[in-house]
Amino acid sequence: MRFNRRMALNRPAHNSAMPELPEVEVTRASLADRLQGAEVQAVRLGKPLRWPLGVPPAQLVGRRAGTLQRRGKYLWLPLAGPVAADDAAPEGGLLMHLGMSGSLNLAAQAGDPGAHDHFDLHTSRGLLRLTDPRRFGAVVWSDALQAGPAAKLLARLGAEPFDASFTPVQLHAALQARRTPVKAALLAGDIVVGAGNIYVSEALHRAGIDPRTRSNSLSRPRCERLLAALRLTLARAIDLGGSTLRDFKDAHGMAGAFQDEALVYGREGQTCARCGGTIRRIVQGQRSTYFCGGCQRR
């Protein structure tokens, strides 16, 4: 998967959106190599985030970063302690979430923290800083990804959309158990993770499925088209650095460009590029849904 970031930094904002799988994956990719092997030198906590860190900040000092991973919209940074006399390095790590408006930045030099800078991890590779104007993000210590707070927070997550073991047959079976509109079922995150409002609207358009369609009415062939469309949409979003409607920037401070290619999202009243119909906007579950009534069928 390529990360060819065509970024636009001064794009007008017309809405805000929670960082979803593409934005979190772009963040992971822009941090992973630079953080690998970094030693924690100091930790600063700002205003409280959604959940407390869970350990004294001093407990992180001296640990070294492993490979940054992603699960759904969470990032996991393993932090191994100094090797003990028995050659066993204490396990553990930080589970991070960007909330509704958060971003992570790693800089060789950083200025004094601002009002929205709530977590600083000073390392030998630079300062990793979480900036989150709304403070719905989180940085939580866990003894392992499969234990403690991390295991509890990740327990209800659905399948990763790019996981080859997640098949159209499985998607069909999961949707057969739901009577809710298909858009709501996909946004719930317990069938498939990371598909947010923009990407579900776009994927349903690519698949030709009306977002109001009842989940259990979808045939297996339509589920096959839907999963393919979802993967294509998310892959393209990652390639373009995610979407920036207001807040999101990657770890280099760059904004995403996927919204500039959106086929339906934010295009109410415009002409559908596929069929020439008119793009509509409705509200589902207090979220804006954009679709074409001409080529998206129930």
Beta-strand runs (E) in 133-254: 138-142
Catalytic residue of the set 11, 50, 281, 287: 287
Does residue 133 carry a catalytic annotation? no
The answer to whether residue 20 is catalytic is yes
Query: Can you tell me whether residue 19 is helix, strand or coil?
Result: coil
For residue 124, the SS3 value is coil
Catalytic residue among 28, 64, 73, 222: 73
224 is catalytic: no
Q: Give long-range contacts, CB 8 A cutoff, 24+ apart: 187-191.
A: 187/285, 187/287, 188/158, 189/72, 189/156, 189/157, 189/158, 190/156, 190/157, 190/158, 191/158, 191/159
231 is catalytic: no
How many Å apart are CA 198 and CA 241, to the nearest integer? Answer: 14
Segment (H or E) for 32: helix 21-35
Question: 248, 242 in Cβ contact below 8 A?
Answer: yes
Q: State the catalytic residue, choosing from 5, 19, 161, 181.
A: 19
Q: Which of 20, 23, 25, 202 is catalytic?
A: 20
The residues, any chain, with a CB within 8 Å of residue 133's CB and separated by 6 or more, are 101, 116, 247
Strands 74-80 and 64-65: antiparallel
Q: What whole-number distance in Å separates Cα of residue 137 and Cα of residue 130?
A: 9
Q: State the catalytic residues.
A: 19-20, 73, 287
